[in-house]
């Protein structure tokens, strides 16, 4: 029996070794330099062992192959081509988009629930149809209409802060939870058509659902890792990324809203109305003709994606912007002066959509925040037909059908070839010297036709809340503020390890005027 057990272990060890060597030798004859393969971990060992944040890992991986245009890496257990050159990125994501239409497939409705039905995971013609269906929700005219809803939620948040018992002497807070509640209420209003005040009512069900879904625990991170590497086993064991109760909650919420609006003939400028038109149940007589027959789950999934992406990612960008303004007081003062100039032109009227869009320095501050702290440090595409890539040295690389290309967004954002002194927060990169910046070396929302459909919405809500906050407060360094920022290495989400603590000090005081003139 002992001999048989030893023999079985030997066979298993041999098979595992052969399997590992197959991965390790994947790029030998592919005409590219490649990273070392570590079984299961691949090139992401330091991320999975919690030694580096996702941003730091991508930046270091990009630096490792300086001078190369395309290299081989291992995304956990999966071989992939990492594209370091913006011109090749342009070819793959725009010029040859038909060869690289989809993201990797690791979730479907069986294990991903609503997320598995969302625009992000859709493929080919179905993705194109849903993209066309949703596009009207994010046009300039719709942005203008949703602007007032966002401004109302923002003013609600500022009022809450003004009523803080210690605000007159300055109060230090972790500003991330404030922004999370703000984005929650914005999404509730603009996507789901419901009014919520999550600052006053901290335990409302909508906020608690969002907090649970977007707060990735160790178990949730493990699930992502398992789906990426063993998606067939995940199906066998019927694993789900999110509990069914969360899907049920959002399905009930959206379908009830649609039914109520249909019965009461209510029209509202939000995402649900767009989806009602798509399903052919518009409350108006001349709603657009549906591109295809969408199920209730198809449509609810898009609301869920909007919620999932906007709840955490946008609030993180806001908190990192506040951190950088706190850490760079000269930049903050310059932005406050621009805000004061705009308020003078408004003559006491509320902030307008046109006035916000005319603020060049605010735009530069937000853009620089997203350069330094991109919410998606890397993005991917899958090749759907063999494709030959030729780099600047005329070296040809064949990317085969079903192979993955990997775009290191954070690596390019931190590349001194495109951004001198990349670790320095410098909004002037986007204020004056923008000739060398384009969508292929600046990709905080992705690139090409699969770029985030709601990017203009995210930018608008970020600018609105920063405008209103800095109209009444300045961000100062507090006892718990950590400068420079230290990222949490736990998981794929981008977050501050020690929180984003800032001290809020009221404007329009002698102390504020003195600080502004320092």
Mean pLDDT for the chain overall: 87
Q: Name which of 19-23, 149-153, 292-296 the model is least confident about.
A: 19-23
Beta strands in 170-303 (DSSP E): 171-174
> Is residue 72 scored above 80 in pLDDT?
yes
Q: In this predicted structure, what is the pLDDT of residue 192? A: 81
Q: In this predicted structure, what is the pLDDT of residue 217? A: 67
The torsion of the CA quartet 137, 143, 145, 149, rounded to 10 degrees, works out to: 100
Per-residue model confidence as pLDDT tens digits over 355-370: 999 999 999 999 999 9
> Is residue 228 scored above 90 in pLDDT?
no
- Higher per-residue pLDDT: 432 or 71: 71
Give the 3-state DSSP-derived string for 79-100, with helices as H, strands as E and coil as C: EEEEECCHHHHHHHHHHCHHHC
Per-residue model confidence as pLDDT tens digits over 11-37: 565 555 555 556 778 898 888 999 988
* Alpha-carbon span 299 to 297, nearest angstrom: 5
Q: In this predicted structure, what is the pLDDT of residue 9? A: 64
Side-chain-side CA neighbours of 271 within 13 Å: the count stands at 25
* Cα 447 versus chain centre, distance: 13
Tokens for 472, please give them. Answer: 């009444």
Q: In this predicted structure, what is the pLDDT of residue 92? A: 95
Residue 487 CB coordination number (10 Å)? 17
Distances (CA, A) of 276 to 11, 409, 496: 58, 35, 39
Q: Give percent of the chain with pLDDT exceeding 70.
A: 87
Side-chain-side CA neighbours of 84 within 13 Å: the count stands at 25
- Higher per-residue pLDDT: 416 or 390: 416
Average pLDDT on 204-210 reads 85
Most confident region among 83-97, 124-138, 258-272 by mean pLDDT: 83-97
Average pLDDT on 312-341 reads 96
* Alpha-carbon span 113 to 450, nearest angstrom: 21
Q: In this predicted structure, what is the pLDDT of residue 253? A: 85
* Alpha-carbon span 405 to 337, nearest angstrom: 44
Sheet order of strands, 473-476 included: 171-174, 501-506, 473-476
> Is residue 134 scored above 90 in pLDDT?
no
> Is residue 233 scored above 90 in pLDDT?
no
Distances (CA, A) of 335 to 236, 428, 430: 54, 12, 14
- Structural domain boundaries of the chain? 31-516
Q: Give percent of the chain with pLDDT exceeding 90.
A: 52
> 3-class DSSP state for residue 496?
strand
Q: In this predicted structure, what is the pLDDT of residue 8? A: 60
Q: Name which of 85-89, 190-194, 413-417 the model is least confident about.
A: 190-194
- Higher per-residue pLDDT: 354 or 223: 354
> 3-class DSSP state for residue 504?
strand
Q: In this predicted structure, what is the pLDDT of residue 291? A: 58
Radius of gyration for the alpha carbons in the chain, expressed in angstroms and rounded: 24
Q: Which of these CATH numbers, 1.10.10.60, 1.50.10.10, 1.25.40.10, 1.10.630.10, describes 31-516? A: 1.10.630.10
Predicted TM-score (pTM) of the model is 0.91
Question: Could you tell me which residues are beta bridge partners of residue 474?
Answer: 505
Assign 246 a pLDDT band (cuts: 50, 70, 90).
confident
Average pLDDT on 143-151 reads 89
Give the 3-state DSSP-derived string for 254-272, with helices as H, strands as E and coil as C: HHHHHHHHHHHCCCCCCHH
Distances (CA, A) of 339 to 8, 99, 292, 514: 72, 45, 46, 18
* Alpha-carbon span 19 to 470, nearest angstrom: 57
Q: Name which of 152-161, 190-199, 210-219 the model is least confident about.
A: 210-219
Tokens for 488, please give them. Answer: 């949490």
Tokens for 345, please give them. Answer: 């032109």
> 3-class DSSP state for residue 428?
helix
Beta strands in 85-187 (DSSP E): 171-174
Residue 513 CB coordination number (10 Å)? 10
- Higher per-residue pLDDT: 351 or 5: 351
Instruction: Give the pairing of strands 379-382 and 404-407.
Output: antiparallel
Q: In this predicted structure, what is the pLDDT of residue 19? A: 56
Average pLDDT on 497-515 reads 89
């Amino acid at each position: 029996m002992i001999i048989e057990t030893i023999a079985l272990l030997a066979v298993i060890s041999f098979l595992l070794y052969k399997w590992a060597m197959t991965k390790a030798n994947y790029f030998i004859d592919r005409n590219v330099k490649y990273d070392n393969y570590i079984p299961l971990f691949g090139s992401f060992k330091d991320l999975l062992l919690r030694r580096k944040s996702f941003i730091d890992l991508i930046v270091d991986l990009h630096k490792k192959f300086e001078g190369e245009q395309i290299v081989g890496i291992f995304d956990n257990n999966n071989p992939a081509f990492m594209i370091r050159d913006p011109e090749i990125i342009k070819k793959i994501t725009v010029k040859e988009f038909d060869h690289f239409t989809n993201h990797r497939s690791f979730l479907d409705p069986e294990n991903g629930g609503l997320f598995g039905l969302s625009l992000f995971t859709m493929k080919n013609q179905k993705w194109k149809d849903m993209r066309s269906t949703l596009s009207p929700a994010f046009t300039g005219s719709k942005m203008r209409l949703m602007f007032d809803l966002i401004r109302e939620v923002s003013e609600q948040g500022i009022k809450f802060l003004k009523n803080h018992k210690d605000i007159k002497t300055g109060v230090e807070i972790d500003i991330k939870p404030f922004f999370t509640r703000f984005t929650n209420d914005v999404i509730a209003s603009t996507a789901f058509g419901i009014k919520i005040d999550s600052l006053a009512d901290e335990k409302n069900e909508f906020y608690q659902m969002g907090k649970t879904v977007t707060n990735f625990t160790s178990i949730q991170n493990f699930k992502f890792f398992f789906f990426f590497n063993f998606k067939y086993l995940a199906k066998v064991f019927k694993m789900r990324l999110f509990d069914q109760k969360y899907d049920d909650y959002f399905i009930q919420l959206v379908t009830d809203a649609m039914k109520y609006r249909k019965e009461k003939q209510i029209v509202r400028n939000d995402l649900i109305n767009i989806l009602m038109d798509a399903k052919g149940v518009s409350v108006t007589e001349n709603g657009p003709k549906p591109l295809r027959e969408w199920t209730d789950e198809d449509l609810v999934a898009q609301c869920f994606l909007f919620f999932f992406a906007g709840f955490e990612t946008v609030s993180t960008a806001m908190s990192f912007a506040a951190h950088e303004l706190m850490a760079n007081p000269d930049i903050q003062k310059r932005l406050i002066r621009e805000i004061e100039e705009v308020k003078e032109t408004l003559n006491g009227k509320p902030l307008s959509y046109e006035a916000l869009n005319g603020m060049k320095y605010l735009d530069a501050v937000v853009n620089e925040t997203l350069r330094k702290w991109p919410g998606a440090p890397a993005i991917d595409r899958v090749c759907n037909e063999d494709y030959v890539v030729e780099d600047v040295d005329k070296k040809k690389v064949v990317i085969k059908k079903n192979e993955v290309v990997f775009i290191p967004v954070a690596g390019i954002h931190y590349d001194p070839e495109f951004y001198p002194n990349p670790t320095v927060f410098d909004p002037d990169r986007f204020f004056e010297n923008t000739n060398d910046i384009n969508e292929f070396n600046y990709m905080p929302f992705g690139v090409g036709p699969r770029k985030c459909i709601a990017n203009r919405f995210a930018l608008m809500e970020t600018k609105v809340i920063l405008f209103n906050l800095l109209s009444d407060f300045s961000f100062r360094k507090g006892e718990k503020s950590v400068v420079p920022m230290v990222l949490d290495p736990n998981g794929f989400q981008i977050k501050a390890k020690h929180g984003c603590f800032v001290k809020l000090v009221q404007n329009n005081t002698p102390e504020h005027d003195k600080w502004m003139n320092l």
